[in-house]
């Protein structure tokens, strides 16, 4: 589904990703862990097409297409979804209106029929059951005045409605207390399916107690330096990131899971 | 202070203006007022950018153009009546094409009780005397040369009166249509509007064009809102892209009266909108809300002047500007709280959005306070679309143009959110988005 090879990327003239390789198959959940500044968020931003990230080397192929050649909206229509670390507040734009416009824009790009307001409402009701989110939030402006937990739940709710093939969660656990974290994880787990893959980017192992990954990768200095199963996350929790660097400073061959 | 008047093509074009036979000609006082205003205008010429009121709007190119004084065919231009229809607006209607009243397009039968609505030309032909005060004005003290020109040349317009206590339910629609004529035409319209004590009126002013034209239109409105009366004035300006439109409204508000203006400016190559409001009676209130959305090389200049002259008066002004491509927007908002207008409450917000590096917006809020216990706030900003918001929308699948339109409409929403006519509000929103390049 997703094949990243030898990816190099820079931001504001500074090299951040320095040869990252990763392969993700449908249905898999990959956790990307690493210390601050390792390039975790850069990976999410490069994959979703944010301006200001310059890819200097390497390739990203998503479902046989060159992902890096696509505009952000084309990536979305192709099935890539980024749950933001800091969801943006957009005053004046109604949450439901925005979500319907987004879904229909994607469907249009995929040459699928657009949903009318009745069909969309029905879909929203179904998805509301998955994600505990109050009706009231849907009628407010996008993320405006939402609490930290509400913003993250809204991201997962958007994901539920847009039904991407690849979901990238960028530090979705940051700023959440344990109850909010559980709610978000529940929503994510409900969306796991054999067709859908997840890239869970996180600094802490905590989130992985609730979203159980198939693979864990350690990102350090722009490369994946260690890969393993979920027990790797526990070792990291115990020993800290310094442990990886000391044990195996060279890029790990096992990065291609 | 001006371009050498006599040699300007614009002024030369007025050489025969004194001999025009306008509606009402022959009444000595009206002839004299027109002649004196014309002489004053010709002598002064067009102001240049050294004049404070025209600092950001140059009339140099306009001065080089010569306009026809009238359109003999104005009564015959074909206008599709459907283009005059605005959603949510169904009531009496007065239509002018190239500045000439068109009974065939108007709707003046079955006027509600308490409403008098007539074209100015008819009133002038029958008996101009009741309009003597309004039409004898000179504009020397205001320095408004276009009002002077308008006073010299206008033989057409709207005379509207609402009797004391009358509440006119259906909105009254005034349509100003530009149609192609032989050459470039100047038309001048004068509106005299009066709301009696406790009267209520919804007014919708609509500027539009059948096809492209390069006319110059001037419109001067005198609006008097007597004690306890309520006026709602909606302006939708979709004039021809290459046309010039110069509007000036003067409002006088009596005690406990209220006026609310909602303006959406989309059309015109050069547009100037002067709004002067005097809060003359205790407890009077005015709310002005407006948006201009500009593209191409459009130039729109809004000049707001609100004077609090009585106790406990209030004004709230919310204006937004959006400029794309190579357009230029100008906003000046001057609020004066005069001595003795204690307890007044004035606020002014002007926010602007530049959608292109080549667009320009000049904004100047001014606040002068000479009274006590006054609440006043004002602020102005010029900014760009939030890149983070753009990326957020695009990452969810919205194409760039759609994301831009959505954010721009959201930026302007504060202006129309208070417009009570929901159908018209939606129409404004769509018209605004459609005008974006």
Q: Which of B391, B403, B406 sits opposite A50 (nearest CB)?
A: B391
Residue A104 half-sphere exposure, CB side, CA atoms within 13 Å?
A: 13
Task: Look at residue A248 in the predicted model and tell me its pLDDT.
Answer: 54
Please say whether the beta carbons of B54 and B328 come within 8 A.
no
**Taking a contact as any Cβ pair under 8 Å apart, which residues of chain B between 367 and 396 contact chain A?**
386-389, 391-396
Mean pLDDT of chain B: 94
ipTM over 0.85: yes
User: Which residues, other chains included, contact B17 with Cβ-Cβ below 8 Å and sequence gap of 6+?
Assistant: B38, B69, B152, B153
Is the pLDDT assigned to residue B1 strictly greater than 80? Answer: no
Tokens of A237: 């929790």
Q: Is B396 close to A92, i.e. CB distance below 8 A?
A: no
Which is it for the CA torsion A89, A93, A96, A97, positive or negative? negative
Task: Look at residue A245 in the predicted model and tell me its pLDDT.
Answer: 65
Please say whether the beta carbons of A17 and A221 come within 8 A.
no
Give the Cα separation of B136 and B29 in Å (integer). Answer: 7
User: Which residues, other chains included, contact A95 with Cβ-Cβ below 8 Å and sequence gap of 6+?
Assistant: A137, A138, A139, A140, A141, A142, A143, A154
What secondary structure letter does DSSP report for B280? -
Q: B386: nearest CA in chain A?
A: A90
Task: Look at residue A257 in the predicted model and tell me its pLDDT.
Answer: 38
Q: Which of A51, A76, A162 sits opposite B387 (nearest CB)?
A: A51
For residue range B334-371, list pLDDT tens digits in order: 999 999 999 999 999 999 999 999 999 999 999 999 99
Q: Is A98 close to B393, i.e. CB distance below 8 A?
A: yes
- How does B190-224 read in b/e, with b if 16+ C-beta sit within 10 Å? bbbbbbbbbbbbbbbbbbbbbeebbbbbbbbbbbb
Give the Cα separation of B375 and B381 in Å (integer). Answer: 21
Task: Look at residue A246 in the predicted model and tell me its pLDDT.
Answer: 67
Task: Look at residue B144 in the predicted model and tell me its pLDDT.
Answer: 87
Q: B406: nearest CA in chain A?
A: A93
- Three-state DSSP at B104 gives coil
For residue B397, the distance in angstroms to the closest alpha carbon of chain A comes to 4
Which residues are paired to B320 by β-bridges? B291, B351
**Which conformational region is residue B147 in: left (phi greater than 0), alpha (psi within -120 to 50 degrees), or beta?**
alpha
What whole-number percentage of chain B has pLDDT above 70? 98
Please report the number of interchain residue pairs, chain A to chain B, with beta-carbon separation below 8 angstroms. 75
B244: closest CA among B274, B214, B210? B214
B379: closest CA among B314, B311, B333, B312? B333
Please say whether the beta carbons of A253 and A221 come within 8 A.
no
Please say whether the beta carbons of B218 and B155 come within 8 A.
no
Q: A95: nearest CA in chain B?
A: B393
Task: Look at residue B3 in the predicted model and tell me its pLDDT.
Answer: 52
Determine the average pLDDT of the residues in B18-37. Answer: 92
Indicate the pairing of strand B328-337 with strand A2-11.
unpaired
Q: Is A73 close to B406, i.e. CB distance below 8 A?
A: no
Please say whether the beta carbons of B322 and B353 come within 8 A.
yes
- CB count within 10 Å of CB A4 equals 24
Which is it for the CA torsion B23, B25, B28, B32, positive or negative? positive
Q: Is A103 close to B397, i.e. CB distance below 8 A?
A: yes
Q: Is B396 close to A76, i.e. CB distance below 8 A?
A: yes
For residue range A108-157, list pLDDT tens digits in order: 999 999 999 999 999 999 898 877 777 888 889 999 999 998 999 999 99
Q: Is A101 close to B413, i.e. CB distance below 8 A?
A: no
What secondary structure letter does DSSP report for A114? P
Task: Look at residue B143 in the predicted model and tell me its pLDDT.
Answer: 72
Task: Look at residue A256 in the predicted model and tell me its pLDDT.
Answer: 43
User: Which residues, other chains included, contact B91 with Cβ-Cβ below 8 Å and sequence gap of 6+?
Assistant: B107, B168, B169, B170, B171, B172, B173, B202
Q: Please give the backbone phi and psi of residue A121, each rounded to the nearest 5 degrees, phi first.
A: -60, -40
Q: What is the pTM of this model?
A: 0.88
**Which parts of chain A have pLDDT scores under 50?**
251-257
Q: Which of B391, B397, B413 sits opposite A92 (nearest CB)?
A: B413
User: Which residues, other chains included, contact A247 with Cβ-Cβ below 8 Å and sequence gap of 6+?
Assistant: A226
User: Which residues, other chains included, contact A27 with Cβ-Cβ below 8 Å and sequence gap of 6+?
Assistant: A192, A193, A194, A195, A196, A197
DSSP A27-44: T-EEEEE--TTSSHHHHH
For residue range B60-76, list pLDDT tens digits in order: 999 999 999 999 999 99
User: Which residues, other chains included, contact A44 with Cβ-Cβ below 8 Å and sequence gap of 6+?
Assistant: A82, A85, A168, A170, A199, A201
**Taking a contact as any Cβ pair under 8 Å apart, which residues of chain A between 135 and 194 contact chain B?**
141-142, 158, 162
Asked if the C-beta of B400 comes within 8 angstroms of chain A's C-beta atoms, the answer is: yes
Give the Cα separation of B130 and A214 in Å (integer). Answer: 88
Please say whether the beta carbons of B147 and B220 come within 8 A.
yes
């Amino acid at each position: 589904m997703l094949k990243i090879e030898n990816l190099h990327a820079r931001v504001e003239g500074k090299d951040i990703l320095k040869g990252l390789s990763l392969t993700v198959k449908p249905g898999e959940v990959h956790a990307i862990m690493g210390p601050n500044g390792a390039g975790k968020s850069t990976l999410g931003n490069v994959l979703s097409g944010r301006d200001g990230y310059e890819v200097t080397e390497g390739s990203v192929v998503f479902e046989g297409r060159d992902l890096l050649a696509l505009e952000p909206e084309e990536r979305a229509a192709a099935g890539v979804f980024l749950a933001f670390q800091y969801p943006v507040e957009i005053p004046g734009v109604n949450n439901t209106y925005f979500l319907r416009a987004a879904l229909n824009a994607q469907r249009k790009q995929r040459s699928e029929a657009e949903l009318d307001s009745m069909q969309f409402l029905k879909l929203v009701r179904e998805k509301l059951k998955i994600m505990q989110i109050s009706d009231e939030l849907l009628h407010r402006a996008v993320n405006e005045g939402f609490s930290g937990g509400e913003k993250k739940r809204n991201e997962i709710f958007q994901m539920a409605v847009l039904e991407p093939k690849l979901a990238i969660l960028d530090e979705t656990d940051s700023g959440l207390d344990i109850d909010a974290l559980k709610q978000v994880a529940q929503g994510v787990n409900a969306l796991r399916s054999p067709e859908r893959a997840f890239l869970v980017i996180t600094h802490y192992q905590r989130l992985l107690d609730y979203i159980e990954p198939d693979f864990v990768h350690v990102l350090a200095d722009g490369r994946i330096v260690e890969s393993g199963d979920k027990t790797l996350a526990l070792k990291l929790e115990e020993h800290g990131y310094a442990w990886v660097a000391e044990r195996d400073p060279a890029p790990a061959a096992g990065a291609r899971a | 202070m001006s371009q050498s008047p006599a040699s300007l093509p614009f002024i030369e074009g007025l050489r025969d203006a004194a001999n025009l036979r306008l509606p009402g000609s022959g009444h000595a006082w009206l002839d004299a007022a027109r002649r004196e205003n014309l002489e004053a205008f010709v002598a002064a010429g067009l102001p240049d950018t050294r004049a404070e009121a025209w600092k950001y709007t140059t009339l140099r190119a306009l001065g080089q153009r010569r306009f026809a004084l009238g359109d003999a065919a104005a009564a015959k231009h074909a206008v599709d009546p459907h283009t005059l229809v605005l959603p949510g607006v169904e009531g009496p209607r007065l239509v002018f094409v190239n500045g000439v009243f068109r009974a065939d397009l108007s709707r003046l039968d079955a006027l509600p009780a308490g409403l008098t609505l007539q074209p100015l030309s008819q009133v002038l032909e029958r008996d101009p005397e009741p309009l003597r005060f309004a039409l004898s004005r000179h504009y020397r003290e205001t320095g408004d040369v276009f009002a002077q020109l308008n006073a010299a040349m206008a033989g057409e317009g709207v005379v509207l009166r609402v009797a004391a206590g009358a509440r006119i339910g259906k909105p009254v629609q005034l349509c100003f249509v530009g149609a192609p004529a032989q050459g470039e035409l100047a038309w001048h319209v004068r509106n005299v509007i009066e709301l009696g004590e406790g009267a209520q009126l919804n007014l919708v002013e609509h500027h539009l064009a059948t096809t492209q034209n390069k006319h110059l239109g001037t419109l001067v409105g005198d609006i008097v809102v007597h004690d306890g009366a309520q006026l709602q004035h909606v302006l939708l300006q979709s004039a021809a892209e290459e046309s010039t439109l110069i509007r000036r409204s003067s409002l006088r508000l009596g005690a406990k009266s209220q006026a609310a203006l909602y303006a959406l400016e989309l059309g015109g190559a050069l547009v100037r909108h002067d709004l002067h409001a005097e809060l003359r009676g205790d407890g009077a209130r005015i709310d002005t809300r407006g948006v201009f959305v500009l593209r191409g090389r459009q130039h729109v200049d809004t000049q707001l002047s609100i004077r609090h002259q009585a106790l406990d008066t209030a004004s709230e002004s919310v204006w937004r500007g959006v400029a794309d491509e190579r357009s230029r927007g100008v906003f000046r908002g001057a609020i004066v709280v005069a001595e003795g207008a204690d307890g007044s409450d004035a606020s002014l917000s002007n926010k602007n959005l530049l959608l292109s590096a080549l667009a320009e917006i000049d904004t100047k809020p001014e606040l002068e306070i000479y009274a006590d216990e006054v609440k006043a706030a004002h602020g102005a900003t010029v900014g760009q679309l939030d890149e983070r918001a753009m990326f957020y929308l695009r990452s969810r699948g919205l194409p760039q143009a759609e994301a831009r339109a959505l954010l721009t409409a959201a930026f302007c929403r504060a202006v129309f959110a208070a417009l009570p006519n929901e159908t018209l509000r939606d129409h404004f929103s769509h018209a605004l988005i459609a005008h974006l390049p």
